[in-house]
Amino acid sequence: MNTSKASNAACTGIISAIAASICCITPVLALIAGTSGIASTFSWVEPLRPYLIGLTLLVLAFAWYQKLKPKSQDEIDCACEDDKPKFIQSKMFLFLMTIFAGMMLAFPYYSHFFYPNPSIGKQVVYVSENNVGELNYSIQGMTCAGCEAHIEHEVNKLEGILEVDADYGTSSALVKYDKSKVTPDEIASAIGKTGYQIIE
């Protein structure tokens, strides 16, 4: 029946949408769970993202086609008045699944909002220019703005960090710090806790 095909396709679309953004969902889940080391676990999915997005769109288009195509004469003759479709077979369910899939596909573009603002609660510190150090790390595994925010959040926990600017586009993180309060090894260790790897 069209409704069950549409429901199955909608569920498949949700799974592929989640898979398409799993590399960006994992760092946020890691932050919430307090297990930041698993953040880069699914970074290998990023190259597959365009294919998973395409699969999601195709499956949802098929589900909507199944739901909206006119019924055949056999289906009309067979229909009973008592036979109301279940919620999982309704247009409302398919609509909600389509909205959810869209939100999952767009997750990399708004995932950084889940991270606290590093400047809130941070004291303004005056540091002698001689004590300011600057490091530029090459980092493997960042795939979206959520990855950047995850690294910035973890490094900002250290005392003596003046500024952190991670960029997934260039796979790098620029860190300005107070040499008298924090060492490069401590900064590298904080980055390592996120699960992303520093490329030497």
**Lowest mean pLDDT, pick from 47-51, 91-95, 100-104, 175-179:** 47-51
Residue 17: pLDDT over 80: no
CB 94 within 8 A of CB 4: no
Residue 60: the pLDDT is: 85
Residue 172: the pLDDT is: 92
Across the chain, what does the average pLDDT equal?
A: 77
CB 192 within 8 A of CB 198: yes
Cα–Cα distance for residue pair 72/148, rounded to 1 Å: 52
pLDDT digits (tens, 9 = 90+) for 163-174: 899 998 899 999
pLDDT band at residue 1 using 50, 70 and 90 as cut-offs: very low
Residue 196: pLDDT over 70: yes
Residue where the block lists tokens 């999982």: 88
pLDDT digits (tens, 9 = 90+) for 70-92: 876 665 555 554 455 677 777 88
Both tokens of residue 155? Answer: 């490094």
pTM metric for this prediction: 0.62
pLDDT digits (tens, 9 = 90+) for 22-40: 766 776 666 666 655 555 6
* Residues 20/24/47/9 CA torsion (nearest 10 deg): 0
Indicate the residue type of 66: Q
CB 75 within 8 A of CB 25: no
Cα–Cα distance for residue pair 45/135, rounded to 1 Å: 29
CATH class of 129-199: alpha beta
Report domain extents, the chain: 2-111, 129-199
Work out the number of other CB atoms within 10 angstroms of the CB of residue 133.
Answer: 18
What residues contact 36, with CB distance under 8 A and at least 6 apart?
27, 30, 150, 154, 193, 194, 195
Cα–Cα distance for residue pair 51/47, rounded to 1 Å: 9
